[in-house]
Chains A and B, each alone.
Chain A
Amino acid sequence: MGRKQRRLIIILLSALCLAAAAALVMLAFRDNIVFFFGPSEIKAGKVQPGKRIRVGGLVVEGSVVKVGEKVSFGITDGNESVDIHYVGILPDLFREGQGIVAEGVLNQNLVFTASEVLAKHDENYMPPEVAEALKKSGHWKEGMEQ
């Protein structure tokens, strides 16, 4: 086998590898990109129910209700709030007023069922997406702009 053929085989092999990876990536991108939304966008109907998304916002004061391992709470970006249901142990840093990110699925009644709730390992944490959603809503807290 000559040098040319050898090179051809190598190039074909690499192309095959890349094509396989590209196909896998395309396929994965089709259903696995998790989009991030704020409560206002959800209330405005921008989210298709049943699709896996992340929502973020500040935990509404006094909204946390715990029954055994089931938790429900609201998160807000200052304009709108969304109810979240979650089963499991909340992160250590979960508190009212704290910024959190939840990953899960929205149902027809705009209630969000989270499979995961994240807070950061540092109390100085404000997930950037949350900051963004709050910024987009134009308010950091109701009444601030008056």
Chain B
Amino acid sequence: MRRLFFVLPIVVFLALLAAMFWGLNSERDPGALPSMLIGKQAPVFSLPDLYDQGLVDEGVLADGTPKLLSFFASWCIPCLAEHPVLKSLANDRGINIIGVAWKNKADDAKGWLEKHGNPYQLTLHDLPGRTGIDWGVYGIPETFLVDGKGKVIFRHAGPLTPQILSKKLMPLLEGLGL
């Protein structure tokens, strides 16, 4: 009877442990919002081409080739940090990347791409930032991987580092046969 008292703390702790373990499951991951896009069709959008080639809509993401969609801006320093990674993806591996200049003046964005090199197959312009919000962009840079049918497969917030590239993005790209 007396011993029972001393076992009580363990029982309470086990219950707590169970609750905490449950709380950690990936379903409940508080950062789960981005995964809501994952496995779903890309949001509808209609954006002007940065180089004035007319309006582009989400159909461009469903042309059969998997693509990266990269939100960037000339004012964004981490974007510069990830720029070499994007360039090597485009030039060395031939990955299609669509850039979205987010809340950025057209001339600034163009000047920046001219200065640092342009890895984008197509550059769109989201001056008001609305499309970014539709995509759930927190802050830039952010990168999405869309399969050939317009379905979002992967998202990364923050600059693409070589680690993230090799650990997360490359296996997915290889899975798509790229």
- Are A and B in contact, CB atoms below 8 Å, in the complex? yes
Mark A residues whose CB is within 8 Å of B: 58, 61, 96-97, 123-128, 130-131, 134-135, 140-141, 143-146
Query: Which residues of chain B have C-beta atoms less than 8 A from A123's C-beta?
Result: 138-139
Nearest CB in chain B to that of A138: its residue = B36
Would A126 and B139 be within 8 Å (CB), given that A61-B130, A140-B36, A144-B41 are in contact?
Answer: no
Residue of A nearest to B138 (CB): A124
For residue A144, which residues in chain B have a CB less than 8 angstroms away from its CB?
37, 40-41, 43-44, 134
Residue of A nearest to B130 (CB): A61
Q: Is B7 an interface residue (CB 8 A)?
A: no
Least CB distance from A59 to B in Å reads 10
User: In the complex, which residue of chain B has the Cβ closest to the Cβ of A146?
Assistant: B41
List chain A residues, Cβ under 8 A from B31.
126, 131
Q: Are A134 and B33 in contact (CB under 8 A)?
A: yes
If the complex has contacts A123-B139, A131-B30, A134-B36, are A145 and B41 also in contact, measured as CB distance less than 8 A?
yes
Asked if B111 lies at the interface with its beta carbon under 8 angstroms from chain A, I say no
- CA distance in complex: A96, B103 (Å): 14
> How far in angstroms is the closest Cβ of chain B from A138?
10
The answer to whether A141 touches B33 (Cβ under 8 A) is: no
- Please name all residues of chain B whose beta carbon is closer than 8 Å to the beta carbon of A140 when the two chains form the complex: 33, 36-37, 40, 43, 136
**By the criterion CB–CB under 8 Å, are B44 and A143 in contact?**
yes
Q: In the bound complex, how far is the Cα of B134 from the Cα of A109, in angstroms?
A: 29
Is B18 an interface position by the 8 A CB rule? no
Q: Report how far A122 CA is from B76 CA in the complex, Å.
A: 17
Interface hits, B27-49 → A, CB 8 Å: 28, 30-33, 36-37, 40-41, 43-44
Question: B164 contacts the other chain (Cβ, under 8 Å)?
Answer: no
**Which residues of A sit under 8 angstroms from B30, Cβ to Cβ?**
126-128, 131
Most B CB contacts (10 A, CB to CB) among A61, A130, A144 go to A144
What is the CA–CA distance of A131 and B43 in the complex, to the nearest angstrom? 17
On whether the beta carbons of B44 and A146 are closer than 8 Å, the reply is: yes
Of residues B43, B129, B157, which shows the largest number of chain A Cβ atoms within 10 Å of its Cβ? Answer: B43
